[in-house]
Chains A and B, each alone.
Chain A
Amino acid sequence: MTSAPFSSSEAQSGAIADYNFAYLDEQTKRMIRRAILKGIAIPGYQVPFASREMPMPYGWGTGGVQVTASIIGPDDTLKVIDQGADDTTNAVSIRAFFAKMAKVKTTTHTGEASVIQTRHRIPEEQLHEGQVIVFQVPIPEPLRFLEPRETETRKMHAVEDYGLMHVKLYEDIAQKGHIATNYAYPVKVKGRYIMDPSPTPKFDNPKMNQSEALQLYGAGREMRIYAIPPYTDVVSLDFEDYPFEVQTFEEPCALCGGTGVFLDEVILDDQGGRMFVCSDSDYCEDRRAKGHRGALSPDIYESEESLSAQISQEGADA
C-alpha cells in the first residue's frame, strides 16, 4: 500500500504517477467493500455509497470499475465485456486500466476469469463457484420511470409497495399485446426486493437465478451498490396468463452455428443484408476453435479476408 501520490524517482524521471494498487486508495476501497458486504447481506437492496470521481465519464462504467477495484487482488484474473464482446472500446479500455493499475492478469476466456466486469451481458458459459461478476449499472432504481421521487421509491421498497411495477407490465401487454420490456427486466430477489438487473437483455435473467457466482452491481453516478449472493432465488416478474419468456432467435449464429444463445444483428450492406452472430464473442470463438461452423463461417470462404471480400462483393453485386 503506497500512500504517496508520486514516488520521487518517477516524478523526477517524468514517468506516470505512482498510484495505489487498483487506482483507488485503501480507505475508499474499505468504504466500498462495506457497501458490498451490506448488499450481499440484503440481496437486491440498493446500498448508497460515496461514489468517487473516476478517470472516465459517467455512463462508461464508473460504478463497475469502483466495485472491481475494491474486490480485485494481485492473484485475480480479470475479464471485461461490453455487450458480450471482449474487443469493444469500453471493454478494451477498462481491461487496460486494470492491467496497468493493478497489474493483474487479464483474459477473454470466461472460464479462466475470477472477476468478470460486464456491461449488458452475462456470459453464455455457465459461471461457477468462486467467480464474481460485476455489472455496470446506469439506473439502479427499477421504479424510477414510474415514480420520480427518490424519497418515495425508497419507502416503496421499505414497505414492499410494488404494485406499480406490475402496472408497467400491464401497460406493455395492453399496448403491445405482450410484455415488451426486453432489457432491464425487473426481478424479485429472494422473495423480497424488486431489482433492476441493469440493462442486460431479459435473455440473461434466468442465468441470475441460483447462480453459482456472486453478482455485484455498481452504479457510479447514482451512488448505489447492490448484490445477489450465490445460490439466491431471482424471479422475473410476470402475470399468470402472460408468463415471463426470453427472446428466441430464428437462425443459429452465422459464425459458429450456436443456438440457444443471445445473438446480435450485424448489418452487412445497405441492401438489407444482415447476419446474426453470438453477442458473447468468447463463446463464439471457443466454439469455432472446437470446429463448429455457421452459415457464414470464414472457413466456408477459406479465410477471413475472403469473407470480407465476399461480403463487399455481395454488397457491390446487389
Chain B
Amino acid sequence: MTRHMDMTHAGDHLPKTSLVAPRPMDLSEKPLLQVRSVSKYYGRRIGCEDVSFDLWPGEVLAIVGESGSGKTTLLDCISTRMTPTSGMVNYRMRDDTMREVFRLSEAEKRFLMRTDWGFVHQNPADGLRMTVSAGANVGERLMAIGEQHYGDIRQTASDWLEQVEIAKDRIDDQPRAFSGGMRQRLQIARNLVTGPRLVFMDEPTGGLDVSVQARLLDLLRSLVAELGLAAIVVTHDLAVARLLSHRMVVMKEGRIIETGLTDRVLDDPQAPYTQLLISSILQV
C-alpha cells in the first residue's frame, strides 16, 4: 500500500505547470473516485494487480504503459465493464454519497453509465450505433433518461455536433458514412450529451493520422477544461498524456510502477522502466 500512498495527497492534483488550460477547479478535498487494491487475473495470468489511486473532480489522469501492461484491463475494471477478481472501486454520486460501484444494482449501474459516466472506445464502432443517424446516436442517452420531445433532442444533438466540429447537415447521416476522426468526435459528443462528471477513454486517438489526432486532442482538451470533466485516459502515446492529463500513472506487467504529476513524470522519470519508455520516443 505504501507505494501509492503518496498519490492521495490533497493538492497533488493541482496542475501547476500542466499545459491544460485553466478550468473551473473543484478544490474540495473529497475524491470523486477511489480505486483500492484492484486486481484482475485471467486464470493464472495477471491482468492487473493491486492497483490503487484516487481521482479528484475535474482531474485528468493518464494511464500509460506498453501493450499488455494491463491498462485496458484496469480501465474496464474501474468502469464496471469487467468485474475485478478483488479490490474495491468507490464513486461519489451526485448526492455526494460514496458508493461502491460493484455493489450497485444493475439498474443503478446502467443509469450511472449513461448519465454520470462516459466511455470513449478506441474503435468508434464499439461505442456508436453504426446503423442509426448521428443525431440519434447523440440523442440516445437523452431518450434513455426520459427526454421525449423530438425537437429538443434534435436541437441538443445539433448543438453537440457543432461543438465537436461535425457539420450540422450531417445530423441525419449514419456514422458509417463518417471518417475515422469524425466517428471519434461523434462518439465523444454521444458521451458528453448528458453532462457526465467522469469519462473513461481507451486510446481515444488510436488509429487516427497525426493531423487528425492533433485536432482531436485540441478538442478534448478544450472540452475537458470547459466542462470541468474528470477523465481517465488510457494511452500508450506519451504525447497524449502530456497534452491531456494532469497526473499520470505508469504501468508495467499489471502493476503501477510510477505515479506523479504528468510534467514531473515525463521530465524527470524516476523508475528505470519509465526512463526507458520516455527515451524510446522518436525525436523528429
A-to-B contact residues, CB < 8 Å: 155, 158-164, 166-167, 170-171, 173-175, 238-242
Contact = CB atoms under 8 A, between A and B. Distances in A.
Contacts of A171: 132-133, 136
Interface string B127-147: 001001101100111011100
Given A170-B135, A170-B150, A174-B135, A160 B114 contact: no
Nearest to A170: B136
Contacts of A161: 107, 110, 144
Given A170-B135, A170-B139, A240-B150, 20 more contacts: A158-B107, A160-B107, A161-B110, A163-B145, A166-B148, A167-B129, A167-B136, A167-B139, A167-B140, A170-B143, A170-B150, A170-B153, A170-B154, A171-B132, A174-B133, A174-B135, A174-B136, A174-B154, A240-B148, A241-B149
B272 interface: no
B150 A175 contact: no
B148 to A, nearest CB: 5
A22 B132 CA distance: 46
B151 interface: yes
B209 interface: no
11 contacts: A159-B105, A159-B110, A160-B107, A163-B140, A163-B143, A170-B154, A174-B171, A175-B172, A239-B148, A239-B149, A240-B149
A225 to B, nearest CB: 25
Given A174-B133, A239-B148, A240-B149, A163 B114 contact: yes
Contacts of B171: 174
A39 to B, nearest CB: 23
B106 interface: yes
A175 B143 CA distance: 18
A164 B149 contact: no
A78 B148 CA distance: 42
Contacts of B172: 174-175
Contacts of B136: 167, 170-171, 174
Interface residues of B, number: 24
B115 to A, nearest CB: 11
Nearest to A163: B144
A166 B154 CA distance: 13
A155 B148 contact: no
Contacts of B129: 167
* Nearest 10 interchain pairs by C-beta: A163-B144, A159-B107, A166-B143, A239-B150, A163-B143, A240-B149, A170-B136, A167-B136, A241-B151, A174-B172
A260 B149 CA distance: 29
Contacts of A242: 150
Nearest to B145: A163
A155 B140 contact: no
Contact of B106 (A155, A163, A170): A155
Contacts of B144: 161-164
A242 B114 CA distance: 25
Interface in B160-186: 171-172
Contacts of B140: 163-164, 167
A173 B171 CA distance: 13
Contacts of B110: 159, 161
A158 B149 contact: no
Contacts of A162: 144
A174 B170 CA distance: 12
B193 to A, nearest CB: 12
Given A163-B145, A239-B148, A158 B133 contact: no
Contact of A167 (B132, B148, B154): B132
Among B129, B144, B154, B172, max chain A CB count under 10 A is at B144
Contacts of A239: 148-150
